[in-house]
Structure formats: structure tokens, C-alpha cells
């Protein structure tokens, strides 16, 4: 419990600061969109920590364990998976930025280079593509985690 409480307090403070910064910056690049989604995923994960602390300290009755099993555990793992994917998206976007950077407009490129893998990966830097990718990511992971909530919603007993 002390570790959960420490992570919760530090996480809320640091993610609130990051959120305050990132949500003031216009989302005109893919990186900013991915970072904003990382902050949301982290805050969702942190919202499950007080329930874990209360459960480990023995507060509540058996119904607190039911809430943790049905909802907060699913929320925890859902937001963890979302965070992992957005870390991957940020890494891929940075890779594209460094390795497959866009040539200057004055240089000519062949048809082959325009349709190469690097050119397709440059979509990762587009804010519009990043928003669509973020929506698809949240939606698919929600669909994957939803059965855990539904299947554990049978009547609970002590």
C-alpha cells in the first residue's frame, strides 16, 4: 500500500503537470497527439490505485473486492495496454522523424521513393492520422477489455 500511495501521489502531480503543458499546446503534429493520449491513459491507470490501496488496507467489505475485480482491474490493464501502444507509436514517430525525414521541397524524388515504406511511415507524423490512430487504438482495446467486465458481472456473493 505505501508504494501504491506514493505512485498515486507522484503520478497525479507529474501527469497533471504534463497534461497542463500538453493540453495548452495545439495538436498540430502526431507527437503531440500521442503524448496527450499518454497523459490520459496514465491518469486513467492512476485512478485505479486508491481502490487497490483501500483493498490492501482492509477497508470496505467483500463488495470492494468485487468492484476491483469487475472495474478497476479492467481499467488498470486497459490503460496500461493503451499506454504501451502509445509509447510504441511515439517511438515509431520519432524513428520516422530521425531516419526517414522528409526531403526539402526543392529536391526531386522518384516515384519509387514516394511510395516507399518510409514515405508511408511518415503518416505517423500527421496530426490527422494520429487522431484516427488514437481513436482506433482506444476503440479496439476497449472492445478487447469489455468482455472482462461483462463476464465478471455475475451476481457476487461473499
Is residue 29 very low, low, confident or very high in pLDDT (cuts 50, 70, 90)?
very high
Is residue 114 classed as helix, strand or coil in its secondary structure?
Answer: helix
Report the CATH number at residue 24. 1.20.1070.10
Name the packing angle between helices 127-151 and 73-99 (round to 10°): 160
The predicted structure's pLDDT at residue 155:
63
Residue 91 in any domain: the answer is: yes
Give the three cell numbers for residue 4: 501504491
Pick from 122, 134, 131: nearest CA to 95: 122
Give the three cell numbers for residue 37: 493520449
Spacing of C-alpha 34 from chain mean position: 8
Domain total in the chain: 1
The predicted structure's pLDDT at residue 18:
94
Higher pLDDT, 149 or 140: 140
Percent of the chain with pLDDT over 90: 52
Residue 90 in any domain: the answer is: yes
Percent of the chain with pLDDT over 70: 84
Q: What is the pLDDT of residues 53-96, one digit of tens each?
A: 888 787 777 777 777 777 888 899 999 999 999 999 999 999 98
Structural domain of 30: 2-151
In total, the chain counts a number of residues equal to: 158
The predicted structure's pLDDT at residue 59:
77
Name the packing angle between helices 73-99 and 30-46 (round to 10°): 160
Residue 38 in any domain: the answer is: yes
Residue 157 in any domain: the answer is: no
Residue 156 in any domain: the answer is: no
The predicted structure's pLDDT at residue 82:
97
Residue 143 in any domain: the answer is: yes
Residue 158 in any domain: the answer is: no
Report the alpha-carbon distance of residue 38 to residue 21 in Å, rounded.
13
Pick from 89, 82, 65, 53: nearest CA to 157: 65
* Residues 85 and 137: beta-carbon distance below 8 Å: yes
Mapping DSSP onto H, E and C, the string for 81-112 reads HHHHHHHHHHHHHHHHHHHCCCCCCCCCCCHH
The predicted structure's pLDDT at residue 13:
96
Amino acid at each position: 500500500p505505501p508504494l501504491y500511495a506514493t505512485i498515486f501521489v507522484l503520478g497525479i502531480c507529474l501527469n497533471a503537470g504534463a497534461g497542463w503543458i500538453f493540453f495548452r499546446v495545439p495538436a498540430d503534429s502526431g507527437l503531440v497527439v500521442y503524448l496527450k493520449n499518454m497523459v490520459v491513459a496514465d491518469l486513467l491507470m492512476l485512478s485505479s490505485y486508491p481502490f487497490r490501496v483501500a483493498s490492501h488496507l482492509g477497508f470496505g467489505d467483500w463488495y470492494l473486492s468485487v468492484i476491483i475485480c469487475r472495474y478497476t482491474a479492467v481499467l488498470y490493464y486497459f490503460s496500461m495496454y493503451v499506454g504501451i501502444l502509445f509509447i510504441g507509436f511515439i517511438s515509431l514517430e520519432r524513428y520516422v522523424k530521425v531516419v526517414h525525414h522528409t526531403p526539402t521541397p526543392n529536391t526531386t524524388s522518384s516515384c519509387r521513393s514516394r511510395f516507399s515504406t518510409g514515405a508511408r511511415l511518415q503518416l505517423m507524423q500527421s496530426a490527422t492520422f494520429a487522431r484516427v490512430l488514437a481513436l482506433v487504438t482506444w476503440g479496439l482495446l476497449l472492445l478487447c477489455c469489455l468482455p472482462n467486465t461483462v463476464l465478471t458481472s455475475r451476481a457476487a456473493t461473499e
